[in-house]
């Protein structure tokens, strides 16, 4: 900062939640009816942030590689999919109810339950014994009410990838090793959705399943772990707030041979934003068994036939968006006692790349020419309301990297004043060089 002021990081999640609602990043779904727990809507800035994150992931995982193919599968799979995957049998959390206040809690998180609001003479909850609670959201297909019409909204995006493994490999003419990636919605009937968009009932995942020979499992596990850590560091997440944590043997999923989480240090603690898993041959073997279709692979060179092993990378888009928001958020104390809230987004993620601000409404017509020129290339905002300082502050809260002020000198010298978000420094830039000037800075390190 040029002002030499003091900067404070996010401490209270309520501050970020307030900013997200105020600036149109994220707010409760069905808000006019009081909201619905575990569901969130992404507003004009939030949808751009999330789309930028997904586009960057897709580019790094799919477009820049020749050994990963893309997929966009349906949200509802054949019900046998979830029997084969183990979700019908294993996908549950321990749950207890309070007989007094009727609230429901996860049995392994009772320290967060707080006091009971309904018991007389005591603040202690009156808990039932723990029981398993299946997290899949059930739906029905067709008009009939018999059990054959029962289906589930997918609990994860990876299972359709296994269903489509053979088809994708054949049409893409891929040999092992290769991967299949997709981004999509998943649904879990969480007992206690909490921590804003970190744990929700509807969320988005970006998953990649990499199929390889069993002898290469360590090689590809190490490769994808390094790639995924590098991805999060390239988003600009602070080095001191990003770590990896191997799973202990007693916490591994039933299918996993090895698992390492990429964790971010949120205001509510270290939490997973991505997992890298060695799933072994569990998935393809189970789907072969339950479907009756042979999903083994024959190496065209050695003629060896085997069930491929799977290395998975699974990132939560919503959780990563929250990490990016937390990491970018700062309140700065400037000279003169003024403060500003700012989101220091990486330029590749910033919802708005620039804002065009005419110094006076009398300059609106030529300023809009600049605006129209820039928005052919990027998402750009136009604002001619209020004094220039107030407009700068609005763009700081939106995380906009550059503000372009068209002033009374601009018609004469053909330049605009560009103010940089993080340093608040300003420079005059020729209008006819503006596209190239912005492109160089926005794409730097993307």
The topology under which CATH files domain 352-442 is: Rossmann fold (3.40.50)
Helix (H) / strand (E) containing 393: helix 388-398
Are the beta carbons of 29 and 36 closer than 8 angstroms?
yes
| pLDDT by residue, tens only, the chain of 446 residues | 344 455 678 888 999 999 999 999 999 999 999 999 999 999 999 999 999 999 999 999 999 999 999 999 999 988 888 888 777 666 556 767 787 887 777 767 777 777 887 876 677 888 787 776 667 788 888 876 666 688 889 989 999 999 999 999 999 999 999 999 999 999 988 877 889 999 999 999 999 999 999 999 999 999 999 999 999 999 999 889 999 999 998 888 878 899 999 999 999 999 999 999 999 999 999 999 999 999 999 999 999 999 999 999 999 999 999 999 999 999 998 887 788 999 999 999 999 999 999 999 999 999 999 999 999 999 999 999 999 999 999 999 999 999 999 999 999 999 999 999 999 999 999 999 999 999 999 987 55
| Per-residue tokens: 188 | 């879990």
Are the beta carbons of 195 and 266 closer than 8 angstroms?
yes
Count CB neighbours of 330 within 10 A.
Answer: 17
**6-91+136-326 to CATH, choices 1.10.20.10, 3.30.365.10, 2.160.10.10, 3.30.930.10:** 3.30.930.10
DSSP state for residue 127 in the 8-state scheme: B
Q: Looking at the chain, which residues constitute the CATH 3.40.50.800 domain(s)?
A: 352-442
pTM: 0.88
Q: Looking at the chain, which residues constitute the CATH 3.30.930.10 domain(s)?
A: 6-91+136-326
The Cα–Cα gap between 242 and 234 comes to 12
The Cα–Cα gap between 99 and 394 comes to 48
Nearest Cα residue to 441 out of 103, 427, 209: 427
């Amino acid at each position: 900062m040029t002002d030499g002021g003091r900067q404070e990081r996010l401490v209270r999640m309520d501050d970020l939640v307030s900013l997200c609602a105020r600036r149109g990043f994220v707010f409760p779904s069905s808000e006019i009816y009081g909201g619905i727990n575990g569901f969130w809507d992404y507003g004009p800035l939030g949808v751009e942030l999330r789309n930028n994150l997904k586009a960057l992931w897709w580019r790094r995982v799919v477009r820049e590689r020749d050994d990963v193919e893309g997929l966009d599968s349906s949200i509802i799979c054949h019900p046998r999919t979830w029997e084969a995957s183990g979700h019908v049998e294993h996908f549950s959390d321990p749950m207890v109810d309070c007989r007094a206040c009727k609230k429901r809690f996860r049995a392994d998180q009772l320290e967060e339950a707080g006091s009971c609001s309904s018991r007389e003479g005591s603040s202690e909850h009156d808990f039932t014994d723990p029981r398993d609670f299946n997290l899949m959201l059930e739906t029905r297909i067709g008009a009939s009410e018999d059990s054959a019409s029962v289906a589930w909204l997918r609990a994860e995006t990876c299972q359709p990838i296994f269903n489509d493994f053979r088809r994708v490999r054949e049409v893409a003419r891929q040999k092992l090793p290769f991967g299949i990636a997709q981004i999509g919605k998943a649904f879990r009937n969480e007992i206690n959705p909490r921590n804003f968009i970190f744990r929700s009932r509807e969320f988005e995942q970006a998953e990649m399943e990499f199929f390889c020979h069993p002898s290469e499992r360590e090689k590809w596990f190490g490769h994808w772990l390094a790639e995924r850590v590098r991805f999060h560091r390239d988003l600009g997440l602070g080095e001191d707030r990003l770590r990896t944590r191997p799973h202990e043997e007693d916490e591994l999923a039933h299918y996993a041979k090895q698992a390492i989480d990429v964790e971010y240090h949120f205001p509510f603690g270290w939490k997973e934003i991505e997992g890298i898993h060695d799933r072994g041959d569990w998935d393809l073997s189970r789907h072969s068994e339950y479907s009756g279709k042979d999903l083994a692979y024959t190496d065209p060179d050695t003629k060896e036939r085997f069930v491929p092993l799977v290395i998975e990378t699974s990132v939560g888009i919503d959780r990563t968006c929250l990490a990016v928001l937390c990491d970018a958020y700062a309140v700065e104390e400037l000279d003169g006692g003024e403060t500003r809230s700012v989101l220091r987004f990486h330029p590749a993620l910033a919802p708005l790349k620039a804002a065009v601000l005419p110094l006076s409404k009398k300059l609106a017509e030529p300023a809009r020419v600049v605006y129209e020129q820039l928005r052919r290339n990027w998402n750009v905002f136009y604002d001619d309301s209020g004094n220039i300082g107030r407009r700068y502050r609005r763009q700081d809260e939106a995380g906009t990297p550059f503000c372009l002020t068209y002033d009374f000198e601009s018609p004469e010298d053909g330049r605009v004043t560009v103010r940089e978000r993080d340093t608040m420094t300003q420079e005059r830039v020729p209008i006819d060089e503006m596209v190239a000037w912005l492109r160089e800075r926005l794409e730097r390190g993307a």
